[in-house]
Amino acid sequence: MDDAELIAAVAGGDDAALRELFVRHAPWLAARLRSVLPAADTEDVLQETFLAVWRGRAATVPTARRPAGSGGSPGARPRCSCAAAARPSWCCPR
């Protein structure tokens, strides 16, 4: 299955599809998170991001106006910002 099919399956409640998306995209997202967060926060933000995908799955159905994979990982941005904000400025570049 491609990402669009997996996202549609997640929207339908298929937890195996979410696991497949995690396997495909978690390494890429983790690498980017590590560049802006302390190691201790990276795993938490990564898990929270995919949990948010699961919780918001009804709103993740791809459409012609919003195809699967568009916009990067918007769920990670606020979580990353929150984790970075909780750290002193010398610890996390903003």
Whether residue 17 lies inside any domain: the answer is yes
Whether residue 55 lies inside any domain: the answer is yes
CATH of the domain at 40: 1.10.1740.10
What is the pTM assigned to this prediction? 0.62
- For residues 78 and 65, give the distance between their C-alpha atoms in angstroms, rounded to a whole number: 23
CB 38 within 8 A of CB 87: yes
Domain of residue 35 covers: 3-64+71-85
Whether residue 92 lies inside any domain: the answer is no
One-letter amino acid identity for 5? Answer: E
**Number of separate domains in the chain:** 1
Whether residue 93 lies inside any domain: the answer is no
How does residue 20 score in pLDDT terms, banded at 50, 70 and 90? very high
- For residues 17 and 73, give the distance between their C-alpha atoms in angstroms, rounded to a whole number: 17
Whether residue 14 lies inside any domain: the answer is yes
Whether residue 76 lies inside any domain: the answer is yes
Tens of pLDDT along 25-67?
999 999 999 999 998 899 999 999 999 988 988 775 555 555 5
Which H/E stretch holds residue 80?
A: helix 76-85
